[in-house]
């Protein structure tokens, strides 16, 4: 038995963060990337719901607190370098992106330009009204 926390195994950035990738547990599609600090990762593990750290607001951010599109976490993985987290999630509401799309990665590079290839499922003005 050890007193070492799972959080101590992670190589945090100088500002105490780690990138976290949310992946749809069924389809395997990458939904989004956000940042976590120790508290948000601990809360995610305890609650089974994705909690991130907002760098712009400097506060915890429970995914879906504004939109209702929460992420239920089924598994948390750490990469081999111990500096990236992958969350296997069920994306409630079918949208992870604040633009109203399933994934934040909705643009593809075509002929030197970024082209939106995924549909807007719901107008963000309706989501965040």
Look at 7 and 3; give whichever has higher pLDDT.
7
Helix (H, G, I), strand (E, B) or coil at 86: strand
Q: Give the three-state DSSP class for 83.
A: coil
Average pLDDT over residues 25-45: 97
* Location of structure tokens 């069924």: 26
- Binned at pLDDT 50, 70 and 90, residue 3 comes out as low
Residue 1 domain-assigned (yes or no): no
> In whole angstroms, what is the distance from residue 74 CA to residue 56 CA?
27
Q: How many domains does the chain have?
A: 1
Pairing of β 59-62 and β 51-54: antiparallel
Could you tell me the CATH number of the domain that includes residue 95?
3.10.20.810
pLDDT digits (tens, 9 = 90+) for 69-124: 999 999 999 999 999 999 999 999 999 999 999 999 999 999 999 999 999 999 99
Question: Which residue reads 């082209």 in tokens?
Answer: 115
Q: How far apart are CA 66 and CA 62, in angstroms?
A: 9
Residue 45 lies in a domain: yes
For residue 48 the two structure tokens come to 């089974």
Contact, 10 vs 35, CB < 8 A? Answer: no
Per-residue confidence band for 127, with pLDDT thresholds at 50, 70 and 90: confident
Range of the domain at 80: 6-127
> Which residue in the block uniquely carries the two structure tokens 């992958």?
86
- Return d(Cα 42, Cα 37) in angstroms, integer: 9
Give domain status of residue 98, yes or no. yes
Query: What is the distance of C-alpha 128 from the center of its chain?
Result: 18
Q: Which helix (H) or strand (E) holds 43?
A: helix 38-47
């Amino acid at each position: 038995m050890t007193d070492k926390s799972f959080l101590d195994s992670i190589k945090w950035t100088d500002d105490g963060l780690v990138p976290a990738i949310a992946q749809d547990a069924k389809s395997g599609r990458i939904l989004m990337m956000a940042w976590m600090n120790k508290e948000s990762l601990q809360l995610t593990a305890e609650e089974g719901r994705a909690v991130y750290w907002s760098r712009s607001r400097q506060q915890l951010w429970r995914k879906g607190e504004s939109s209702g599109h929460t992420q239920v976490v089924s598994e948390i993985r750490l990469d081999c370098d111990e500096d990236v987290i992958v969350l296997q999630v069920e994306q409630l509401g079918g949208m992870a992106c604040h633009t109203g799309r399933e994934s934040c990665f909705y643009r593809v590079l075509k002929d030197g330009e970024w082209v939106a290839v995924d549909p807007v499922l719901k107008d963000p003005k309706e989501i965040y009204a």
